């Protein structure tokens, strides 16, 4: 019989190293425990005996399913995180603590951990959601030294959000719009979700639509996007988030969107972007960040080699990294206007052979290399108005 351990201490008979991260202690150097692949989105399901259980939207064969929409039991499987050991010694016991990160929702504290040699199971108790909730768990060794961490997004299915018992939540309102959009369409063939101009602020009910190609969430009142909410959308091409009230985005929020082509975040209230936010979007062609409150240029766009259109106008950018546009041979459009730029790195636009439209107007650029200027005015359509341009710097 499995031993149930309250949120907190998980005892493993092993020398520990998780996800390649090792402790400084010598005993951790040569033996390891590795967390296997797991679903990051889990659905809170109420059983017939009123007990709660975490499940994932997979069918009996382990393939993605519509369970996150329909709530059908044959489309949902029990959630656990697999563990792999390359060493196990029953004579040596180390107390490994699994604890929710501090400062999170109380939901994260209401989970029991059921460990075994092959997996970690999670048992929720007394949880009622008002919105999808991301929980981060920290794994520490017996000396409270950090080993690793993992995140799960706890959510209801669309069917549950539609239930009248949740009618006092903003997620319920969003679910009603989704149900109206879905209509009589076949769930598995549903490819585009348009929730624009619905005055919504909670997007919890969208997670079950794993076949989506287009999601339009523009012109709403969205302020916060929980980590994991987009993790099921492996086939997504367009994500429109413009004209909302988003203030910040968690690192990793776009990491599973490897097929994304268009991403619009313009006309929000974003002040800072975590470094690496766009790093995994290797197929991105359009990135729009204009009309926010950004002070620092997102240097990780350097990894977006397929980018065609980039807009970051009407922010508070003062400086652009030197080689940020290197090897962006497909870049056609750049909008840097209405910022606080005082200069531009020499050769910043060199080798952008596809560049046709460039706007650096309404900045405070006083110093500009001749070569940079000539590069700018050689473009098909450029705008350099309303800059001081006191001095043109030469190579001398």
Burial class of residue 294, CB neighbours in 10 A (0-12, 13-18, 19+): buried
Other CB atoms within 10 A of residue 264 CB: 21
Can you count the helices (H) and strands (E) in the chain? 4, 24
Other CB atoms within 10 A of residue 363 CB: 24
376, 392 Cβ separation under 8 angstroms: no
Kindly state the DSSP code that residue 64 receives in the 8-state scheme: B
The secondary element (H helix, E strand) that includes residue 377 is helix 370-377
Where are any strands of DSSP class E within 174-257?
A: 192-194, 214-216, 238-240
Question: Which residue in the block uniquely carries the two structure tokens 């929730």?
Answer: 195
Instruction: Give 309-328 as a DSSP string.
Output: EEE--SS------TTTTTT-
Residue from 87, 77, 95 nearest 34 by CA: 87
Instruction: Give 160-198 as a DSSP string.
Output: HHHSGGGTTSHHHHHHHHHHHHHTTS-GGG--EEE-TTS
- Residuewise pLDDT in 10s, the chain (396 residues): 333 333 333 333 333 333 333 333 334 333 356 788 999 999 999 998 989 999 999 999 999 999 999 999 999 999 999 977 655 554 333 456 789 999 999 999 999 988 777 888 999 999 999 999 999 999 877 678 787 889 999 999 999 999 988 889 999 999 999 999 999 888 888 999 999 999 999 999 999 999 999 999 999 999 999 999 999 999 999 999 999 999 999 999 999 999 999 999 999 999 999 999 999 999 999 999 999 999 999 999 999 999 999 999 999 999 999 999 999 999 999 999 999 999 999 889 988 999 999 999 999 999 888 888 888 988 899 999 999 886 665 554
Instruction: Report the predicted TM-score, pTM, of the whole model to 2 decimal places.
Output: 0.89
Give the whole-angstrom CA distance, residue 22 versus residue 32.
8
pLDDT at 393: 55
Structure tokens at 167: 């009618």
Angle at 346 between CA 345 and CA 348, to 5 degrees: 70
* Beta-strand pair 262-264/238-240: parallel
């Amino acid at each position: 019989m499995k031993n149930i351990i309250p949120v907190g201490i998980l005892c493993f008979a092993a020398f520990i190293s998780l996800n390649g991260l090792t402790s400084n202690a010598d005993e951790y150097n040569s033996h390891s425990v590795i967390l296997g692949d797991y679903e990051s989105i889990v659905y809170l399901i109420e059983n017939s005996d009123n007990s709660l259980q975490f499940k994932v939207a997979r069918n009996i064969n382990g393939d993605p399913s519509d369970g996150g929409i329909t709530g059908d039991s044959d489309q949902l499987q029990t959630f656990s995180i697999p563990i792999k050991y390359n060493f196990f010694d029953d004579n040596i016991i180390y107390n490994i603590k699994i604890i929710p990160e501090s400062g999170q929702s109380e939901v994260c504290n209401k989970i029991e951990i059921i460990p075994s040699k092959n997996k970690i199971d999670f048992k929720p108790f007394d949880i009622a959601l008002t919105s999808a909730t991301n929980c981060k768990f920290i794994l520490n060794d017996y000396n409270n030294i950090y080993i690793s961490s993992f995140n799960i997004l706890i959510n209801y299915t669309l069917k549950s959000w539609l239930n009248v018992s949740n009618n006092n939540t903003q997620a319920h309102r969003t679910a009603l719009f989704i149900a109206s959009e879905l209509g009589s369409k076949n769930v598995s063939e549903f490819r585009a979700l348009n929730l624009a101009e619905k005055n919504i602020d909670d997007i919890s009910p969208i997670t079950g639509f794993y076949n989506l190609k287009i999601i339009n969430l523009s012109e709403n009142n969205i302020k916060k996007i929980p980590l994991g909410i987009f993790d099921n959308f492996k086939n997504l091409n367009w994500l429109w988030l413009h004209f909302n009230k988003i203030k910040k985005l968690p690192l990793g929020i776009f990491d599973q969107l490897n097929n994304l082509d268009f991403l619009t975040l313009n006309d929000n209230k974003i002040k800072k972007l975590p470094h690496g936010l766009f790093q995994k979007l290797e197929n991105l062609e359009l990135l729009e960040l204009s009309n926010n409150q950004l002070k620092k240029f997102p240097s990780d766009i350097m990894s977006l080699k397929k980018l065609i259109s980039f807009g970051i106008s009407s922010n508070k950018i003062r400086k652009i990294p030197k080689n940020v546009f290197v090897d962006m041979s497909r870049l056609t459009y750049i909008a840097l206007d209405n910022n606080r730029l005082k200069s531009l790195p020499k050769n910043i636009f060199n080798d952008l052979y596809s560049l046709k439209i460039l706007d650096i107007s309404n900045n405070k650029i006083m110093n500009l290399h001749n070569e940079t200027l000539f590069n700018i005015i050689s473009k098909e359509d450029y705008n350099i108005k309303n800059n001081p341009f006191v001095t043109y710097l030469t190579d001398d």
